[in-house]
A = this chain, B = another copy of it.
Amino acid sequence: MAVYTEISEDQLCALLAEYDIGSPLSCKGIAEGVENSNYMLGTETGTYFLTLYERRVKREELPYFLGLMDHLAHKGLPCPTPIQGRDGQALREVAGRPCAIISFLNGVSPKRLTPKHCFEVGAATARLHLAGRDFAGQRPNALSIDGWLPLIQACGSRASDVRAGLEHELAREYDSLRATWPDLPGRVGDRPLPHGVIHADLFPDNVLFIGEALSGLIDFYFACNDYYAYDLAVLLNSWCFETDGAFNVTKSRALISGYESVRPLTDGEVHSLPLFARGSALRFLLTRLYDWLNQVPGALVKPKDPMEYWQKLNFHRLVLGASAYGVER
């Protein structure tokens, strides 16, 4: 929930003069997205999304994100398309910030998740993985295992202010994952573990539905190259737990069925799910914990409770195999 940078009407008119999408009719700051300033922009030709990239997004990475959205949208994936200015460039500047105008997608993020939602998001994720296969860009996952130790160190002993003993637990969990994590390009036994472009943050907030039909995948600013099964593990964490912490196997089975209806998982991917579910739970635990410990007084964004992901991590620690997620191999 955030608008950090305000735009004057002069700045807006000057920006739109670089495009062929008509002059501005309305521009409303949107209370969503925690990394950037987002506006719904109405022009004579329709509705668009204007994003101003704030400090947390690295300017040099924007061509990867915008290029990927463009690539995926042209492959028919329901994701935003960056709009190019008259000079063919989508990445521009306004109010001293890098910015892009992207197409607006209809739909509403689901609040009460059903197995049908889960099936749909599973299928769309597989389509994203397939559509990304011939995308030329490369971006390592900065928030995979190599990014966790710096976060653990940055939280330091203050982690244990949030929960007694947490600092030690995090270090122990990291060591345990480090010992078994497959570095890219990874193998399980003698078989390669499939990898490519992943979304890496496909929470319900970032998926739009009209009724129970999926209408959009948004917010590609964590997209990167990593294991497909890791993306699926992010989904298991963000779509299949109930608010009381219970894991809903009906939902995870629907999610994996949806995925496999488009792209069947290899045996190695199925076997890697418990590991990747632990890893991705630790990833969200760590970023939330860091934000929790580094709240800015007066900030517009309320940090999310890191302990939700501590609970999820502990669920995955006790899992004996992928059958806990409703998939056998």
A106 engages B25 (CB within 8 Å): yes
State the CA gap A47–B32 with chains docked (Å): 19
A134 part of interface (Cβ distance < 8 Å) = no
Give the size category of A's interface with B: 35 or more
- Interface status of A9 (Cβ within 8 A of chain B): yes
Tell which of B1, B28, B42, B108 touches A12, judged by Cβ atoms closer than 8 Å. Answer: B108
Q: Is B106 a contact of A26 with CB atoms below 8 Å?
A: yes
Most buried by B among A31, A105, A110, A111: A31
Which chain B residues lie closer than 8 Å to A6 at the CB level? 111
Enumerate chain B residues within 8 angstroms of A8, measured Cβ to Cβ.
111-112
CA distance A6 to B108 in the complex (A): 12
Contact string, A89-132, partner B, CB cutoff 8 A, digits 1/0?
00000000000000011111011100000000000000000000
CB distance from A99 to the nearest CB of B (A): 16
Interface contact A25-B298, CB-CB below 8 Å: no
Q: A102 CB to closest chain B CB, in angstroms?
A: 14
Minimum CB distance partner of A37 in chain B = B31
Kindly state the separation between the CA atoms of A154 and B208 in the bound complex, as whole angstroms.
46
Report whether A24 and B112 are in contact in the complex, using a CB–CB cutoff of 8 Å.
no
Q: Give chain B nearest CB distance to A237 CB in angstroms.
A: 21
- Verify B3–A110 contact, CB threshold 8 A: no
- A300 interface residue per 8 A CB criterion: yes
In the complex the two chains form, what is the Cα distance from A107 to B112 in whole Å?
34
CA distance A210 to B13 in the complex (A): 10
Docked Cα-Cα span, A306 to B2, in Å, equals 23
- What separation, in Å, do the CA atoms of A3 and B8 have in the docked complex? 22
Interchain CB contact under 8 A, A108 and B27: yes
A86 within 8 A of partner (CB): no
* With A9-B111, A12-B108, A111-B9: A29-B42 Cβ-Cβ less than 8 Å: no
The contact sample of 16 A-B pairs, CB cut-off 8 A, is: A1-B29, A3-B31, A8-B111, A9-B209, A12-B108, A23-B211, A24-B108, A24-B210, A25-B107, A26-B108, A27-B108, A29-B31, A30-B31, A40-B40, A298-B302, A300-B300
A1-B29, A29-B31 are known; give 9 further A-B pairs, CB within 8 A: A1-B31, A6-B111, A9-B110, A9-B111, A26-B105, A26-B106, A30-B31, A298-B302, A300-B302
